[in-house]
Amino acid sequence: MQPGIHLKDYPVLFVDDEEMALISLSELYDREFTIHTAKSGKEAIEVLRAHPEIAVIISDQRMPQMSGVEFLAQAKKMVPEAVRMLLTAYTEMEMVIKAINEGNIYRYITKPCNVSDLRFAILQGIEHYHLIKERDRLYAEKIETLKRVARTNRLTAIGTLAAGMAHEINNPMVAIYTFLQMLPQKLKEPQLDKEYLEKFYSLSIREAERIQTLIRKLLDFSKGGDQDALSLKEADINLILQEVVVLLKLEARKKETEIDLHSASDLPLAKIDSEKIRQVFLNLIINAIHATDAGRITLTSSFHQDDQGQGTIQISVGDTGIGISEENLEKLFNPFFTTKETQGTGLGLMICHHIIDQHRGMIDVQSKLGKGTTMTVQIPVDPTTYERRRIVRQNEP
């Protein structure tokens, strides 16, 4: 028995059509456990409605109107976490095996059973129930942690974008400011220079729209990406890549690095969460920029289809940077592991892995120290119908 389990906190329901049997069971176990009883499957269902916290259900098989197996099948729908056990004779083993295989009962207890064996079964059921609840609690905590680190990662990426966009916005502002400075003088001239006014007015409008587009894209990155549930809609992955490149090309130029984008013309629309996939591309390209000085980053998209007709889209982000050692490759997707010292949080690739996993895809890395790194993302065209076990890396035979 796990330490710290208070048995009274895990109610037990006995179901038997023999009232004397229920009285005996209550007297035997009431001091140690919280006991509920019911004389039929129908009555037991009412007990479960009133007490959904019941942890262990032990039902006799032979009961009028509703058998134990039939009742436990309904109980599974009402309280799926409850541990369900069946009291039965050896003559009914074929039916018991079928119920176990269908997942309707956790185990069976043969009749007649002695007091210590039944007590052990109850303890085993409570421990199993406790472990299920603990697993669910830890999973919920994991999801909350992933949401928090996703928000942190997103803010870090937005900070990088904002720093570059300040310069990106400044360029069009110079043209607009120059036009506005000269405008009063031009308006005082006896002969209006319509050609000049039309030319610089059109230029100012274009530059203002350029600023608006940049700000809108930054806002797109800042919203909605930290929710764990996917919002799948058909989207153009090539277009998302182009948008990310526009936002990061200045950051790359600061390190005298060029970004080349090779987009496949036959790429179909994919059912993806655009904001999350955009965040993946953003993280991967930022990592490539940080790793590369006076080099080149190459982005490539391609479409693949297996012999079952399942389509995947592959995106590779290759750089000519410093590369990653074999020792660090194994740790790359671990939380808080980073090779960038003070630059990184160690969260980006973990979030990327989680997002791609949600899309039933895969993310792979190939790297040679001093030569560069290639990150490859493979995403099903439709994650809702894709069988992940069929994913094969494109560089495998």
Antiparallel, parallel or unpaired: β 83-88 and 233-235 = unpaired
Name the band, by pLDDT with cuts 50, 70 and 90, for residue 99.
confident
How far is Cα 311 from Cα 199, in angstroms, rounded to an integer? 49
Residue 219 in this model has a pLDDT that exceeds 80: no
Instruction: State how far Cα 59 lies from the chain centre.
Output: 39
Expressed in angstroms, the distance from the first to the final Cα of the chain is: 49
So what's the pLDDT on residue 288? Answer: 92
Set out the domains of the chain in order of their start, with CATH numbers.
7-113 (3.40.50.2300), 143-228 (1.10.287), 233-397 (3.30.565.10)
Which of 278 and 237 is assigned the larger pLDDT? 237
pLDDT in tens, 33-80: 999 999 999 999 999 999 999 999 999 988 888 988 889 989 999 999
Whether residue 364 contacts residue 391, with contact meaning beta carbons closer than 8 Å, is answered with: no
Give the Cα-Cα-Cα angle 250, 256, 262 (nearest 5 degrees).
Answer: 70
The confidence band for 179, taking pLDDT boundaries of 50, 70 and 90, is confident
pLDDT in tens, 270-327: 999 998 898 889 889 988 998 999 999 999 999 998 888 889 999 999 999 999 888 8
What is the bridge-based pairing of β-strands 296-305 and 258-262? parallel
Q: How many CB atoms lie within 10 A of CB 243?
A: 18
3-state secondary structure (DSSP) of residue 78: helix
Q: Which residue has the higher pLDDT, 37 or 195?
A: 37
pLDDT, averaged across the chain: 82
Nearest C-alpha neighbor of 349 from the set 327, 322, 375, 319: 375
